[in-house]
Chain A
Amino acid sequence: MAVTLDQTIAQKQHTLLTRVFASQTFWVVIAVILACLFLSVATDSFATTKNLYNITRNITFVAIVALGMTFVIITGGIDLSVGSVLCLCSMVLAVTMHAGYGIEIGIAAAIATALIIGAFNGILIAYLGFPPFVVTLGMLSIARSLAMVASNNTVVFQFGPDHDKLLALGGGAFVFGIANPVLYMIVLALITGFVLRWTKFGRHIFAIGGNEHAATLTGVPVRQIKVAVYMISALAAGLAGIIQTGWLGAVTTNLGNGMELQVIAATVIGGANLAGGMGTAFGAVVGAALIEVIRNSLGLLGINAFWQGVFIGGAILMAVLFDRLRNFRRNE
């Protein structure tokens, strides 16, 4: 039977189902579900309201920052400064409110700080051609140091007249008893997913990660977009910092220490490719979830906490292994 050219062109090579099975994110979701099922049966303490509340809330801080990181990683960049930026923004918020200003001004100051840092990173990377690794490594050091300067390296736990509002914002549960940070995470994940899939900006981010030279030649505003992604990443870190401040009720200068590695791990486990061109919002959240479930389960199963790094590292390697296996099959 002859197949016409038009039929060939109209043919879809992948159905929805084959696409789902081929995605790394899908298998990570399966892993999370299996782990949860196993833990519910194996321990009495996992499937309790309190533990689930803790887990979902713990996921959120890493997940929110990972959503911002996803933008950067899709362009083929990296942002190592997120942990320090989170700390600095928390500290700016805390110090501003401690000085007697309202919550609105505190949040505005924290967000402005995040955007300025993001723009600084982005301009050095996009316009002056600095390697992202170096710029954000420098910022990792600078932002943490500035947080110490801002607070004189003290713990801030009194937030002025709007103290209670801030604690309600981060620690409360406005809707159906779901912890507020979880709601913020869901909203931010939906926005991220929408932007990546349905906007021109999102399309261009993928194009830059796939082939930056091609993006430039076809008229994509590569530099502006690169600045924007580092601003988004810093903004996500800043928002996570604000929420975390409200939840913890105190800010220390080692807040978010080493967080960048967890965040990068979450995005990579969720299917983002550090070489650029791949990544999803859902993947970032699922990756963060897998890491948190592993951490939580080790505690519940009575395994020494020193083993945590081994299991999380193993999860990173396993996730990427799946991806490699698929590529091997394709190349043969």
Chain B
Amino acid sequence: MPVLELANISKHFGAIQAVNDVSLSIEAGQVVGLMGDNGAGKSTLVKMIAGNFPPSHGTMQMDGKDLVLHKPVEARQHGIEIVHQDLALCNNLTAAANVYLGRELRRGVGPFRILDYAAMYKRAGQIFAVLKSETRPRDLVKQMSGGQRQAVAIARTMLSQAKIVLMDEPTAAISVRQVAEVLNLIRHLRDQGIAVVLISHRMPDVFDVADRVIVMRRGRKVADKTIASSSPEEVTGLITGAIEQV
């Protein structure tokens, strides 16, 4: 059974049809590359899954049950986590503080509860170890490399039992070595049985790490196939419209 299933999803903003009749399903432990040119509808699609706004038409199902989201917080409660393109990190805080931002651990009784620094450092350290990332929980994010910053953002998604992680252009603005690091982080997520949706412009990254690729053009899904049965040339053709549909 797929973790997430979208059936005939459409979204229009006034007269603009951003997403048009898209159906797709995502399996646990699978990395899906979501590709398409600017304005193809990738972000709109992802924002609906993330609970930023509801679809105009169509239904979403999670683990076979209907999924209706009104707010991003609800998506998080359902195990849908997002790694934002700008990572949404606070440079003035430590790695652990960033991982736990908005869901800080506290100890104490009733209204007298204080931040549990020790527990947050410990757990954040464990997550970095699972991700095989050399990131120290006590270091300020300000001093970190692009790869470490990605690890901090990804570690957030592992605090609760995430089922799906949506990653928006995680490799857009970092060095070659760091790209390899991030792709490894994605593999580690997949190995935990988490479904990863990778939104990317970078063909090599998608073909390196994804199991499946979905291509969108002008609001429609024009391809949905395994990486093995596709090629970068074909996907480029689909993105630009040289190939109509497969």
Instruction: Write the residues of chain A forming the contact surface with B, with a CB cutoff of 8 angstroms.
Output: 5-6, 8-14, 197-200, 203, 206-207, 209-211, 213-215, 217-220, 277-278, 330
Give the shortest distance, in Å, between B89 (CB) and chain A (any CB). 6
Instruction: Give the secondary structure class of B's interface.
Output: loop
Give the shortest distance, in Å, between A136 (CB) and chain B (any CB). 23
Asked whether B115 lies within 8 Å of A199 as measured between CB atoms, the reply is yes
Asked whether B106 lies within 8 Å of A200 as measured between CB atoms, the reply is yes
Asked whether B134 lies within 8 Å of A8 as measured between CB atoms, the reply is yes
> Is B102 engaged at the interface, CB distance under 8 Å to the other chain?
yes
Q: Smallest CB-CB separation from A275: which chain B residue?
A: B92
> Is B30 engaged at the interface, CB distance under 8 Å to the other chain?
no
Asked whether A213 lies within 8 Å of B86 as measured between CB atoms, the reply is yes
Q: Smallest CB-CB separation from B91: which chain A residue?
A: A210
Asked whether B101 lies within 8 Å of A220 as measured between CB atoms, the reply is yes
Residues of chain B with a CB closer than 8 A to A220's CB:
101-102
Residues of chain B with a CB closer than 8 A to A219's CB:
72-73, 76, 102-103
Number of B residues, CB within 8 Å of A: 33
Asked whether B114 lies within 8 Å of A199 as measured between CB atoms, the reply is yes
Give the shortest distance, in Å, between B33 (CB) and chain A (any CB). 23
Q: Using A10-B125, A210-B93, A213-B86 as known contacts, say yes or no to A5 and B134 having CB atoms under 8 A apart.
A: yes
Q: Mark B51-85, 1 if CB is under 8 A from A, else 0.
A: 00000000000000000000011001000000010
The contact sample of 15 A-B pairs, CB cut-off 8 A, is: A5-B129, A5-B132, A8-B134, A9-B135, A198-B115, A200-B104, A209-B92, A210-B93, A211-B90, A213-B86, A214-B89, A214-B90, A215-B101, A218-B156, A277-B91
Q: Using A9-B125, A13-B139 as known contacts, say yes or no to A214 and B88 having CB atoms under 8 A apart.
A: yes
Asked whether A206 lies within 8 Å of B137 as measured between CB atoms, the reply is no
Asked whether B91 lies within 8 Å of A13 as measured between CB atoms, the reply is no
- CA of A200 to CA of B117, assembled, Å: 11
Instruction: Give the secondary structure class of A's interface.
Output: helix
Q: Smallest CB-CB separation from A11: which chain B residue?
A: B136
Asked whether B101 lies within 8 Å of A207 as measured between CB atoms, the reply is yes
Q: Mark B108-151, 1 if CB is under 8 A from A, else 0.
A: 00000111000000000100110010111111000100000000
Residues of chain A with a CB closer than 8 A to B137's CB:
9
- CA of A14 to CA of B142, assembled, Å: 15
> Is B35 engaged at the interface, CB distance under 8 Å to the other chain?
no
Asked whether B101 lies within 8 Å of A218 as measured between CB atoms, the reply is yes
Asked whether A277 lies within 8 Å of B129 as measured between CB atoms, the reply is no
Asked whether A6 lies within 8 Å of B115 as measured between CB atoms, the reply is no
Give the shortest distance, in Å, between A220 (CB) and chain B (any CB). 5
> Is B97 engaged at the interface, CB distance under 8 Å to the other chain?
yes
Residues of chain A with a CB closer than 8 A to B135's CB:
9
Q: Using A9-B129, A200-B106 as known contacts, say yes or no to A206 and B134 having CB atoms under 8 A apart.
A: no
Most chain A Cβ neighbours within 10 Å, of B91, B93, B102, B103: B102
Asked whether B90 lies within 8 Å of A277 as measured between CB atoms, the reply is yes
Asked whether B93 lies within 8 Å of A207 as measured between CB atoms, the reply is yes
Asked whether A207 lies within 8 Å of B90 as measured between CB atoms, the reply is yes
Q: Smallest CB-CB separation from A218: which chain B residue?
A: B102
Of the residues B73, B76, B90, B106, contact of A206 by C-beta under 8 Å: B90
- CA of A209 to CA of B91, assembled, Å: 10
Residues of chain B with a CB closer than 8 A to A211's CB:
88-91
Give the shortest distance, in Å, between B93 (CB) and chain A (any CB). 6
Give the shortest distance, in Å, between A8 (CB) and chain B (any CB). 5
Give the shortest distance, in Å, between B41 (CB) and chain A (any CB). 21
- CA of A268 to CA of B225, assembled, Å: 58
Q: Smallest CB-CB separation from A194: which chain B residue?
A: B114
Residues of chain A with a CB closer than 8 A to B89's CB:
211, 214
- CA of A14 to CA of B104, assembled, Å: 23
Q: Using A218-B102, A220-B102 as known contacts, say yes or no to A13 and B138 having CB atoms under 8 A apart.
A: yes
Give the shortest distance, in Å, between B126 (CB) and chain A (any CB). 9
Give the shortest distance, in Å, between A324 (CB) and chain B (any CB). 15
Residues of chain A with a CB closer than 8 A to B91's CB:
210-211, 277
